[in-house]
Structure 1
Amino acid sequence: MGRGAHALARVAVIVRAPAAWLWWPGLLSAAVGALVPGLTGRRIGLLAGAGLFLIVAGAVFLARRGRYRELARGASRAGKAVFLQDRRVTLRNWRRARRWWLLIAFLAAVGSSFAVPAAGGLALAGAGAGLWAKALWIGGLERDAETLFWVRTEWARSAPAAKPVPGYLTTGPAAGDALPGGARRRGRGPGRAARGAAVSAAR
């Protein structure tokens, strides 16, 4: 599984990628929605939104964690002839592939405020919070194993724990330009995810 020339993307970065794009538009749409009385009134809408925030955040955080653990346990060492995709490239690719879905979700959250003010926006923000928390949880797995988890980019087009993903690949904790959990590594410029040497040097 770890042989051959192919591109790898960090699992935690893929999971973390949607977080900000759901969190901030969700809060914005909730703020806009709070200006609309709606059918239920602002108070009920905000209370319902707070409940949805907690429910959605918890559901997103807990979803498929067993699958992530299974893939992490069965991970194999990455070969030398691989490309480690930069964090910013992974984020950009995710955003480009789903920009219309993000716009539709934002407009739907704003539109739902005419019925239940702010509820849709807070639910959207909850999804972002849940994904951010899940990325941190994956970072904990990486720290415990003292490895970073990667997935081949063609396997993870829908999600890094989807059924088509047969397994993860690993490098040492110094590989790539993202810390455990997917945050940007300070002082690491772009282009460090170079072919071959970036992987072998991290071992």
Structure 2
Amino acid sequence: MWWLGVVAAGAGALPPGLTGRRIGVLSGAALFLVAAAVVACARRRRYLALARGAARAGRHDVLQDRAVSVRAWRRGHRWWLLLAFAAALGSSFALPAAGGMLLAGAGTGLRLKAAWLGRRERAGDALLWVRVDWLGRDGGRPAGKAVRAYRSTGIAAGDAAPGGTRRRTAALV
């Protein structure tokens, strides 16, 4: 979402718009900050409640890496993302760059939320996972109504690092 917003803001800054570039960019900067803060702070209580109730993952739990979850979410919502990009571009004729900066702010907020969740995992020395069968019921939302609890594994389990990134292993010589 961040890259789509940056491209839309860049293209949206070209036409002068109804209000002028200066007002459009300044209001876009304010929208960026507000959107980043709202998206980063939204549903934190739900994430904390799910993390507090996390049970150890069982042997037969099928767990899904966050990168795979994000890829599946993007694939399922690609039309909405395309529509948001088109709306950000279209709004630039009224308020230059503001729609793109709003979209970029939402993407930045999601990045901040992922970093916050990664810090929580490091502090608790446990990786948080969602069972795949619960993800499928709620459109792939990791804190949706279908997700009843997270599963946890130790930091050394699997190939994931806190925050869902791939763990780097040193090459043996």
Q: Is the structural similarity TM-score above 0.5?
A: yes
**Could you tell me how far 1:52 is from its partner in structure 2?**
0.2
Structure 2 length normalisation: TM-score?
0.90
Q: Which residue of 1 aligns with 2:27?
A: 48
**3-state SS of the aligned residue for 1:149?**
strand
Structure 1 length normalisation: TM-score?
0.77
Q: 1:86 to 1:141 in 2, by over 3 A?
A: closer
| Distance in 2 separating the partners of 1:24 and 1:103 | 12
Equivalent in 137, 145, 154 of residue 163 of structure 1: 145
Q: Which residue of 1 aligns with 2:100?
A: 121
**3-state SS of the aligned residue for 1:171?**
strand
Runs (5+) with no aligned partner, structure 1: 1-21, 189-203
**3-state SS of the aligned residue for 2:152?**
strand
Aligned residues: 167
Runs of 4 or more, structure 1, over 4 Å off, are none
Q: Confirm or deny that 1:28 pairs with 2:7.
A: yes
Runs (5+) with no aligned partner, structure 2: none
| Distance in 1 separating the partners of 2:114 and 2:66 | 14
Q: Which residue of 2 aligns with 1:146?
A: 125
| Distance in 2 separating the partners of 1:176 and 1:26 | 34
**Could you tell me how far 1:175 is from its partner in structure 2?**
2.8
| Distance in 2 separating the partners of 1:175 and 1:124 | 35
Q: Confirm or deny that 1:96 pairs with 2:80.
A: no
- Is the 8 Å Cα contact of residues 148 and 171 (structure 1) preserved in structure 2? yes
| Distance in 2 separating the partners of 1:91 and 1:163 | 18
Overall identity of the aligned pairs, in %: 60
**Could you tell me how far 1:40 is from its partner in structure 2?**
0.7
**Could you tell me how far 1:155 is from its partner in structure 2?**
2.2
Q: Which residue of 2 aligns with 1:109?
A: 88
**Could you tell me how far 1:91 is from its partner in structure 2?**
3.2
